[in-house]
Protein backbone atom coordinates (compact mmCIF):
# COMPACT_ATOMS: atom_id res chain seq x y z
CA UNK A 1 0.00 0.00 0.00
CA UNK A 2 2.50 2.61 1.00
CA UNK A 3 5.70 0.89 -0.04
CA UNK A 4 6.90 2.99 -2.93
CA UNK A 5 4.99 6.16 -2.11
CA UNK A 6 6.49 9.39 -1.00
CA UNK A 7 6.60 9.60 2.80
CA UNK A 8 3.11 9.95 4.25
CA UNK A 9 2.72 13.04 6.38
CA UNK A 10 0.23 12.74 9.17
CA UNK A 11 -0.01 16.52 9.56
CA UNK A 12 -1.61 18.98 7.17
CA UNK A 13 0.88 18.29 4.39
CA UNK A 14 -0.77 18.28 0.95
CA UNK A 15 -0.42 14.51 0.46
CA UNK A 16 -2.18 13.13 3.56
CA UNK A 17 -2.19 9.51 4.65
CA UNK A 18 -3.38 7.08 2.01
CA UNK A 19 -4.95 3.67 2.03
CA UNK A 20 -5.09 1.99 5.41
CA UNK A 21 -3.14 4.81 7.02
CA UNK A 22 -6.01 7.19 6.21
CA UNK A 23 -8.59 4.92 7.83
CA UNK A 24 -9.57 4.39 11.43
CA UNK A 25 -9.66 0.93 12.99
CA UNK A 26 -13.38 0.37 12.43
CA UNK A 27 -13.00 0.94 8.69
CA UNK A 28 -9.69 -0.84 8.22
CA UNK A 29 -10.74 -3.89 10.26
CA UNK A 30 -13.46 -4.71 7.77
CA UNK A 31 -10.67 -6.43 5.82
CA UNK A 32 -10.19 -9.74 7.68
CA UNK A 33 -6.60 -10.07 6.55
CA UNK A 34 -5.75 -6.64 7.90
CA UNK A 35 -7.52 -7.45 11.12
CA UNK A 36 -5.55 -10.69 11.52
CA UNK A 37 -2.31 -8.84 10.84
CA UNK A 38 -3.04 -6.25 13.54
CA UNK A 39 -3.95 -8.94 16.08
CA UNK A 40 -0.63 -10.61 15.25
CA UNK A 41 1.24 -7.36 15.54
CA UNK A 42 -0.32 -6.39 18.88
CA UNK A 43 0.22 -9.93 20.17
CA UNK A 44 3.89 -9.83 19.19
CA UNK A 45 4.39 -6.38 20.72
CA UNK A 46 2.51 -7.33 23.91
CA UNK A 47 4.60 -10.42 24.49
CA UNK A 48 7.70 -8.45 23.55
CA UNK A 49 6.92 -5.96 26.33
CA UNK A 50 6.19 -8.69 28.85
CA UNK A 51 9.44 -10.45 27.97
CA UNK A 52 11.28 -7.12 28.18
CA UNK A 53 9.80 -6.59 31.62
CA UNK A 54 11.20 -9.95 32.73
CA UNK A 55 14.57 -9.34 31.13
CA UNK A 56 15.00 -5.92 32.75
CA UNK A 57 13.82 -7.15 36.13
CA UNK A 58 16.33 -9.98 35.85
CA UNK A 59 19.11 -7.60 34.82
CA UNK A 60 18.30 -5.37 37.79
CA UNK A 61 19.88 -8.09 39.91
CA UNK A 62 23.21 -7.40 38.22
CA UNK A 63 23.12 -3.69 39.08
CA UNK A 64 26.22 -2.50 40.92
CA UNK A 65 24.33 0.05 43.05
CA UNK A 66 20.85 0.45 44.51
CA UNK A 67 20.28 3.51 42.33
CA UNK A 68 21.12 1.49 39.20
CA UNK A 69 18.85 -1.30 40.38
CA UNK A 70 16.00 1.17 40.87
CA UNK A 71 16.63 2.59 37.40
CA UNK A 72 16.29 -0.82 35.78
CA UNK A 73 13.24 -1.67 37.85
CA UNK A 74 11.69 1.58 36.60
CA UNK A 75 12.32 0.61 32.99
CA UNK A 76 10.85 -2.83 33.64
CA UNK A 77 7.77 -1.26 35.14
CA UNK A 78 7.40 1.05 32.13
CA UNK A 79 7.53 -1.97 29.83
CA UNK A 80 4.86 -3.64 31.90
CA UNK A 81 2.56 -0.64 31.47
CA UNK A 82 3.11 -0.80 27.71
CA UNK A 83 2.17 -4.45 27.89
CA UNK A 84 -1.06 -3.52 29.69
CA UNK A 85 -2.04 -1.05 27.00
CA UNK A 86 -1.42 -3.56 24.22
CA UNK A 87 -3.24 -6.33 26.05
CA UNK A 88 -6.19 -4.04 26.76
CA UNK A 89 -6.37 -3.06 23.12
CA UNK A 90 -6.37 -6.70 22.07
CA UNK A 91 -9.24 -7.37 24.45
CA UNK A 92 -10.95 -4.19 23.23
CA UNK A 93 -10.99 -5.38 19.62
CA UNK A 94 -12.35 -8.76 20.68
CA UNK A 95 -9.12 -10.76 20.48
CA UNK A 96 -8.05 -13.08 23.30
CA UNK A 97 -4.71 -11.56 24.42
CA UNK A 98 -3.13 -14.87 25.42
CA UNK A 99 -3.99 -16.48 22.08
CA UNK A 100 -2.65 -13.45 20.25
CA UNK A 101 0.64 -13.60 22.14
CA UNK A 102 1.20 -17.38 21.98
CA UNK A 103 2.61 -17.52 18.43
CA UNK A 104 5.46 -15.21 19.44
CA UNK A 105 6.47 -16.76 22.73
CA UNK A 106 8.94 -19.25 21.26
CA UNK A 107 10.81 -16.67 19.18
CA UNK A 108 11.05 -14.08 21.98
CA UNK A 109 11.91 -16.58 24.68
CA UNK A 110 14.45 -18.08 22.30
CA UNK A 111 16.02 -14.70 21.78
CA UNK A 112 16.27 -14.01 25.51
CA UNK A 113 17.55 -17.49 26.27
CA UNK A 114 20.29 -17.18 23.67
CA UNK A 115 21.31 -13.74 24.88
CA UNK A 116 21.30 -13.86 28.68
CA UNK A 117 23.78 -11.14 29.70
CA UNK A 118 26.64 -12.33 31.88
CA UNK A 119 27.18 -8.98 33.57
CA UNK A 120 25.71 -5.54 34.13
CA UNK A 121 27.27 -3.92 31.03
CA UNK A 122 26.09 -6.70 28.73
CA UNK A 123 22.64 -6.23 30.21
CA UNK A 124 22.74 -2.49 29.50
CA UNK A 125 23.93 -2.99 25.93
CA UNK A 126 21.18 -5.51 25.42
CA UNK A 127 18.53 -3.15 26.83
CA UNK A 128 19.80 -0.39 24.56
CA UNK A 129 20.12 -2.51 21.43
CA UNK A 130 16.81 -4.26 22.03
CA UNK A 131 15.00 -1.03 22.66
CA UNK A 132 16.46 0.69 19.64
CA UNK A 133 15.65 -2.18 17.31
CA UNK A 134 12.13 -2.32 18.72
CA UNK A 135 11.74 1.43 18.15
CA UNK A 136 12.96 1.16 14.58
CA UNK A 137 10.58 -1.68 13.95
CA UNK A 138 7.61 0.15 15.54
CA UNK A 139 8.32 3.16 13.36
CA UNK A 140 8.58 1.05 10.20
CA UNK A 141 5.27 -0.55 10.94
CA UNK A 142 3.41 2.52 12.24
CA UNK A 143 3.23 4.03 8.77
CA UNK A 144 1.29 1.00 7.53
CA UNK A 145 -1.35 1.05 10.25
CA UNK A 146 -4.80 2.55 10.58
CA UNK A 147 -4.89 5.76 12.62
CA UNK A 148 -6.13 4.18 15.89
CA UNK A 149 -3.60 1.35 15.93
CA UNK A 150 -0.84 3.73 14.84
CA UNK A 151 -1.57 6.01 17.77
CA UNK A 152 -1.24 3.10 20.21
CA UNK A 153 1.95 1.78 18.63
CA UNK A 154 3.57 5.21 18.75
CA UNK A 155 2.46 5.64 22.37
CA UNK A 156 4.12 2.42 23.53
CA UNK A 157 7.21 3.41 21.58
CA UNK A 158 7.33 6.44 23.86
CA UNK A 159 10.81 6.79 25.28
CA UNK A 160 11.19 5.10 28.64
CA UNK A 161 14.64 6.58 29.19
CA UNK A 162 16.47 3.31 28.55
CA UNK A 163 18.70 4.62 25.83
CA UNK A 164 20.14 7.64 27.62
CA UNK A 165 20.82 5.70 30.79
CA UNK A 166 22.51 2.76 29.02
CA UNK A 167 24.58 4.94 26.71
CA UNK A 168 25.93 7.01 29.57
CA UNK A 169 26.93 3.99 31.65
CA UNK A 170 28.45 2.06 28.75
CA UNK A 171 30.46 5.07 27.55
CA UNK A 172 31.84 5.61 31.05
CA UNK A 173 32.86 1.94 31.30
CA UNK A 174 34.67 2.06 27.93
CA UNK A 175 36.43 5.28 28.91
CA UNK A 176 37.59 3.64 32.12
CA UNK A 177 38.82 0.51 30.34
CA UNK A 178 38.95 0.56 26.52
CA UNK A 179 39.24 -3.25 26.34
CA UNK A 180 35.62 -3.38 27.51
CA UNK A 181 34.66 -1.90 24.13
CA UNK A 182 35.93 -4.92 22.19
CA UNK A 183 34.03 -7.37 24.32
CA UNK A 184 30.80 -5.36 24.14
CA UNK A 185 31.12 -4.92 20.38
CA UNK A 186 31.17 -8.70 19.97
CA UNK A 187 28.21 -8.96 22.30
CA UNK A 188 26.19 -6.38 20.32
CA UNK A 189 26.92 -8.29 17.13
CA UNK A 190 25.67 -11.47 18.69
CA UNK A 191 22.50 -9.73 19.88
CA UNK A 192 21.76 -8.41 16.40
CA UNK A 193 22.39 -11.79 14.79
CA UNK A 194 20.08 -13.51 17.22
CA UNK A 195 17.39 -10.82 16.80
CA UNK A 196 17.48 -11.20 13.03
CA UNK A 197 17.33 -14.97 13.12
CA UNK A 198 14.34 -14.97 15.47
CA UNK A 199 12.58 -12.28 13.42
CA UNK A 200 13.00 -14.24 10.25
CA UNK A 201 11.43 -17.20 12.00
CA UNK A 202 8.41 -15.05 12.84
CA UNK A 203 8.20 -13.64 9.33
CA UNK A 204 8.24 -17.13 7.85
CA UNK A 205 5.47 -18.29 10.21
CA UNK A 206 3.02 -15.42 10.18
CA UNK A 207 1.74 -14.65 6.72
CA UNK A 208 -0.80 -11.94 7.51
CA UNK A 209 1.66 -10.02 9.66
CA UNK A 210 4.49 -10.33 7.18
CA UNK A 211 2.28 -9.24 4.32
CA UNK A 212 1.31 -6.11 6.17
CA UNK A 213 4.87 -5.35 7.22
CA UNK A 214 6.06 -5.27 3.66
CA UNK A 215 3.25 -3.10 2.40
CA UNK A 216 0.47 -5.56 1.87
CA UNK A 217 0.83 -7.00 -1.59
CA UNK A 218 -2.46 -8.82 -1.88
CA UNK A 219 -1.18 -12.04 -3.41
CA UNK A 220 1.66 -12.75 -1.03
CA UNK A 221 4.53 -10.75 0.29
CA UNK A 222 7.67 -9.48 -1.23
CA UNK A 223 10.67 -11.22 0.30
CA UNK A 224 12.99 -8.62 -1.13
CA UNK A 225 11.11 -5.91 0.76
CA UNK A 226 11.42 -7.89 4.00
CA UNK A 227 15.12 -8.03 3.32
CA UNK A 228 15.26 -4.28 2.78
CA UNK A 229 13.48 -3.66 6.06
CA UNK A 230 15.98 -5.85 7.90
CA UNK A 231 18.79 -4.01 6.14
CA UNK A 232 17.49 -0.62 7.22
CA UNK A 233 17.21 -1.80 10.81
CA UNK A 234 20.69 -3.34 10.73
CA UNK A 235 22.20 -0.17 9.32
CA UNK A 236 20.63 1.97 12.01
CA UNK A 237 22.02 -0.47 14.59
CA UNK A 238 25.52 -0.18 13.12
CA UNK A 239 25.39 3.60 13.33
CA UNK A 240 24.23 3.52 16.93
CA UNK A 241 26.97 1.09 17.89
CA UNK A 242 29.70 3.23 16.43
CA UNK A 243 28.26 6.30 18.15
CA UNK A 244 28.56 4.30 21.36
CA UNK A 245 32.21 3.61 20.62
CA UNK A 246 31.60 0.01 19.58
CA UNK A 247 32.65 -1.26 16.18
CA UNK A 248 29.57 -3.09 14.87
Phi, psi of 158 (to 5 degrees): -45, 130
Window contacting its own copies (CB under 8 A); options: 80-88, 120-128, 130-138, 171-179: 80-88
C-beta of residue 195 within 8 angstroms of C-beta of residue 135 = no
Out of 39, 76, 133, 173, point to the residue binding its own copies (CB under 8 A). 76
Backbone angles phi, psi at 246, to 5 degrees: -115, 125
Using DSSP, state whether 159 is helix, strand or coil: coil
Q: Is 69 in the site for its own copies (CB under 8 A)?
A: yes
Using rule CB under 8 A, residue 158 touches its own copies: no
Nearer to its own copies, 109 or 222 (CB): 109
User: Judged by CB, which is closer to its own copies: 34, or 83?
Assistant: 83
Chain centre to alpha carbon of residue 66:
28
Compute the chain's Rg from CA coordinates. 18
Asked if 59 and 123 count as a contact pair (C-beta separation under 8 A), the reply is yes
Least distance from its own copies to the Cβ atom of residue 54, Å = 6
Q: Which is nearer to its own copies, 29 or 51 (CB)?
A: 51
* Window 210 to 239, contacts with its own copies (CB under 8 A): none
**CA distance to 27, 40, 95, per residue, from 35 (Å):** 10, 9, 10
Which range touches its own copies (CB under 8 A), out of 3-11, 100-108, 178-186, 205-213? Answer: 100-108
Site for its own copies, residues 37 to 66, rule: CB under 8 A: 47, 50, 53-54, 57-58, 60-61, 65-66
Exposure string of 215-236, with b = 16+ CB inside 10 Å and e = fewer, is: bbeeeebeeebbeebbeebbee
- Report the distance separating Cα 114 and Cα 126, nearest Å: 12
> Contact between 101 and its own copies (CB under 8 A)?
yes
Shortest approach of its own copies to residue 167 CB, angstroms? 22
> Where along the sequence are the contacts to its own copies (CB under 8 A)?
47, 50, 53-54, 57-58, 60-61, 65-67, 69-70, 73-74, 76-77, 80-81, 83-84, 87, 97-98, 101-102, 105
Amino acid sequence: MTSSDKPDHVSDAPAGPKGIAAQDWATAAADPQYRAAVVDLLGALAYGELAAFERLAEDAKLAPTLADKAELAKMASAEFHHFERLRDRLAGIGAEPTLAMEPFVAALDGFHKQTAPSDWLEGLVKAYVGDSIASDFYREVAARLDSDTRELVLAVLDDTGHAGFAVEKVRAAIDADPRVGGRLALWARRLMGEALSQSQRVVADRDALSTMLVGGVADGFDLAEVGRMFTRITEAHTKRMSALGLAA
